[in-house]
Amino acid sequence: MILPIGPIHPSLKEPLRLKLKTKGEKVLEAEIDYGYVHRGIEKIMEGKPWQKCIYLAERVCGICSYEHTQTFAETLEKISDVRAPLRAQFLRVITNELDRIQSHYLANSTFFKAIEHETLFMYMLSQREHIMDAIELLTGNRVNMGWNVIGGVRMDVKEIHLKQILEKLEAVEKNHDRYVGIFENGPIVGLRSKKVGRMTKEEALKGRAVGPIGRASGLKHDLREKHHTYCENLEFKPIWRKKGDNFARTMNRFNEIPQSIDLIRQAIENLPEGNIRSDVEIKSGYGEWRNEAPRGEVLYMVETNGNLIKQISIRTPSIMNIDSCAKYMLKDVATVTDAVATYATADPCIACAERVAILDMDKGYDTYKLL
């Protein structure tokens, strides 16, 4: 029997069709159909100045909106052979990690909602609200921050705001371990998460899973290790697990939150004096840049014609993670309800997944072609 879920369904945050092949209650395999929300952002960007394009880049994904503007800016900075001032780089780290924390709390809250643990669902949203307040203190906005520009950031931060941000982080830490303990030690929650939706390391490699999804299956891949600001100025090591099930993916996000808090403290304590923006003359050329968004690797490929964007292609982490979910995590799941919960642990974003791209799952990573 084929059981369709979506494109409009209470369990889905965004529209797509999830087709489950079932035998009784057991899910044998799954297939995902896209095509309901594609907005053609790359095409709209063509021929426009970077000031308009960075505005559009921030709207590729609502939850990872910040990382898109940073990746866009750093791609053009690479083409123009410049770097943002060190103070601006540190401010980008602070904003990036705040965005990662709120995204991880939201992703876990979605999973808890899917398994009907409404107490943890509400706790996660309460924790996230502290971080959203901190983001607003820093950038003036909560979601689309308008923070990055080519060559740095839009405005400086005041000491009083840094102090308030640290206070918000302390409020998050106060309850974080207790909430993690409720999940980690709860027997009923364990039945819905442990050994459910498993994806092995080999499957994660074949499916090109990235971010917490890949790291929960044993892939020690985190682009922050290679980013110049992190590797030259901050202490950082990727967090990963081996089991590759719903429990591992949820715990990997939980464990990355204290790490992000530590990175923010490092950046605030060592925040250098100086300018927050360099004057940049955008050169004509082609450049690629990758960053670690909350969901995983974001890749921008940009060709410029002076100040104008001649051509741009964006690869977001959701396309790899959702396809890995369909092919591996949902295979042989015991019940349909567990399939819905497993899909939630992939932290899917359909709007950012629908890029102009052709993907051949069976032939692997190198066959990813951009139109």
Bridge-based pairing of strands 285-293 and 296-305 is antiparallel
Question: What is the C-alpha to C-alpha distance for residues 79 and 303, in angstroms, rounded to an integer?
Answer: 9
The pLDDT of residue 359: 40
- Residue 213, helix vs strand vs coil: helix
Closest CA to 241 of 192, 204, 291: 204
What's the pLDDT tens digit per position in 92-108? 999 999 999 999 999 99
| For range 147-173, the mean pLDDT | 96
Distance, C-alpha 170 to centroid of its chain: 23
- Please give the tally of structural domains in the chain: 1
Query: Across the chain, what does the average pLDDT equal?
Result: 91
DSSP string, 300-359: EEEEEETTEEEEEEEE-HHHHHHHHIIIIITTTBS-HHHHHHHHHHT---HHHH--SEE-
Answer with the residue of higher pLDDT: 248 or 6. Answer: 248
The pLDDT of residue 360: 40
Question: What is the C-alpha to C-alpha distance for residues 296 and 63, in angstroms, rounded to an integer?
Answer: 12
Dihedral sign, CA of 85, 91, 97, 100? negative
| For range 341-369, the mean pLDDT | 64
- Domain CATH for 49: 1.10.645.10
What residue type is 276 in one-letter code?
Answer: I
The pLDDT of residue 364: 42
Structure token digits, residue 190: 């364990």
Range of the domain at 350: 2-370
Contact in structure between 73 and 150 (CB atoms under 8 Å) = yes
| For range 161-166, the mean pLDDT | 96
On the question of pLDDT at 358 being above 50, the answer is no
